[in-house]
Amino acid sequence: MNNSGRPLSLGGLLGILGAPLLTPLTGAAGLESSISVPVIHDHLDTLPETPGGILLLVGVQPQDPGFGELLVRAAENGYSAVALKTHGQPPESGIHDSAPLPVIQVDDQVPWLHLDNLITAVTSGRPAGSASAESYGQDLFVLANALATATDGAVAIEDLDRNILAYSNLERHVVDPLRRSGILARQVPDMEKNIDQYRSVMLTDTVVHFPYDPSDGELPRCAAPVRAGRQMLGSIWVIEDKEPLGPEAESALLEVSRLAAVHILRAQNAVDLERQVRTEWLRSALDGHGSDPATSARFGLMEGLSPVLLGFMFASETAVGAGAPPLPLTRQLGIAAEQYCSIFHANVSALESGRVVYVLVPAIRSEAAALRLASGATAALGARLGHQVNVAVSSVGESPGTVADLRREIEDIIGVIERPEPGREIAQVVSTRDVNAALLLRQLTSLLGNQPRLIHPGVHELLDHDARTGSEYRASLCAYFAHTGDMAAAARSLNVHPNTLRYRVRRATELFGLDFTRGDDQLALWVQLRLAESAAG
């Protein structure tokens, strides 16, 4: 939402980023449509449904066969625009004039990753009902252009990590290779001399000037720190092309640095508030309270899309240290898991609950896609945090109302992960499909515990006899059933002679009135004995 209460529009985005970075090829039609997130197109993947998305057509040309059909599918899937590069070729106006949604031309020199980061920076981190990423991003870009006009030099506004938050785009200003590469990568190149320059800026409250560097062609420039009280937030840099800044220009630079501090703080607070609101919404959804459709849609959860829930947890208590509270490292896991999943999917929400981090992906194509995401996450997070991470993967949900059911499914899977069957190893990525038998047995254990009359009287007698006399009728019958009646294999598993096992099976039928000549009776008896075996273990 912007200050007028309207969502960020495509025209608003173009106004912020400006030409020649983005140029509409279809005129003004559709520029009033609301936008959400950028989505990179892969022709081998199914086109995801992304309401308000901007589809980045990497490697696609207007002359390609099927281009018109791709535009139609993008419009049907809710996209507000598509973006492409023409690589010096003239666009075919006949296609664009009749396009079902706006087509935006991207400057050929701009890397796709940089464009994706730019659009994400403008569209992310806006709290509901207040100033949005549009206003924050626009304010910083407007400040950069205003300062560039006042100082007659190219301007860049950076954060403490030397990420470029905004920059001037006035064509008359000269730039050098350092400025150009920084803008394209959205980050200042990592050079040893930059460390000394930034240290000089951070230690002063005034403007610091740096001369021309003939070794790499860096033009003379000056910089001022961006602070909020004692808190350092970043810096502002101006290229001094013709001559050093005079007193009035330096005053303008210092004034803009104070204004930039306000906008950077507001942007950071907006991101924190958005994360908090998103977390509380997810907590409510996982608890089964739900939310109104508009609120759910704001976080990407809508009818017709298939959500999936992931449950991340460390493989053992040693990840947090003996006796140490798990929360700090779990918080790191939550941040890392959310960041990783957000690389591949839009509108990802995360919530830390005890030792488990829940990550909701509101739209995913299939169970296989969810498993691929989880597998990649275990490797990346394990390497990043230094501890093995396990992931429970839910089924693919059918609607927003199934989120609470997905949480119960994750909890059931985690129960199996934490208490695996004896002799069975659990993989790092586990879905219901992998532990279906264990989940079914747990449910049946609960059922039989609440309904003891469902247990065959002979099973009670057999278990009591084993407990009193030390006999092994339960283990013998379970081995017999597990090996589908193969006496030799079952006897080997028990380390007894086959004749001994035959005798035990026969005596069990005589002593306890058990009859398993029919398949249903055999299944029911095996389940009851198997559950007793689990309880005993």
User: Would you kindly state where each structural domain of the chain is located, as residue ranges?
Assistant: 10-123, 133-269, 302-442, 455-536
Q: Would the pLDDT of 440 be above 80? A: no
For domain 10-123, give the fold: 3.40.1390
322 vs 300, residue with greater confidence? 300
Q: Which of 397, 390, 381 is nearest to 413 (CA)?
A: 390
Give the relative orientation of helices 367-385 and 327-344 as an angle to the nearest 10 degrees.
130
R_g of the chain computed on alpha carbons: 32
Beta strands of 304-369 (E only): which ranges?
A: 308-314, 349-353, 356-361
Q: Cα(485)–Cα(346) distance, rounded to whole angstroms?
A: 52
Q: What is the DSSP string of 89-141?
A: PPP-HHHHHT-SS-EEEEPTTS-HHHHHHHHHHHHS---TTS--HHHHHHHHH
Q: Would the pLDDT of 371 be above 80? A: yes
Strands 221-228 and 81-84: unpaired
Q: Is the pTM of this model over 0.85?
A: no
Residues β-bridged to residue 232: 227
Secondary structure of 384-406 in the HEC alphabet?
A: HHCCCEEEEECCCCCCHHHHHHH
**pLDDT computed for residue 324 by the predictor:** 42
pLDDT in tens, 23-46: 888 877 788 888 888 888 888 878
CA distances from 417 to 89, 309, 406, 537 (A): 56, 16, 16, 16
330 vs 425, residue with greater confidence? 330
302-442: CATH, from 3.40.50.1220, 3.40.30.10, 3.40.1360.10, 3.30.70.270:
3.30.70.270
CB atoms within 10 A of CB 184: 15
As a whole number, mean pLDDT of residues 286-297 equals 69
Q: What is the DSSP string of 18-75?
A: -TTTEEESSTTTTTTSB---EEE--TTSPPPP-TT-EEE-TT--TTSTTHHHHHHHHH
At the top level of CATH, the class of 133-269 is alpha beta
Which residue's entry shows tokens 């909020």?
228
As a whole number, mean pLDDT of residues 254-268 equals 84
Q: Cα(394)–Cα(369) distance, rounded to whole angstroms?
A: 12
Q: Would the pLDDT of 323 be above 90? A: no
**pLDDT computed for residue 449 by the predictor:** 61
Can you read off the two tokens belonging to residue 92? 């075919």
Q: Would the pLDDT of 205 be above 70? A: yes
Amino acid identity, residue 429?
V
**pLDDT computed for residue 210 by the predictor:** 94
CATH code of the domain made up of 455-536: 1.10.10.2840
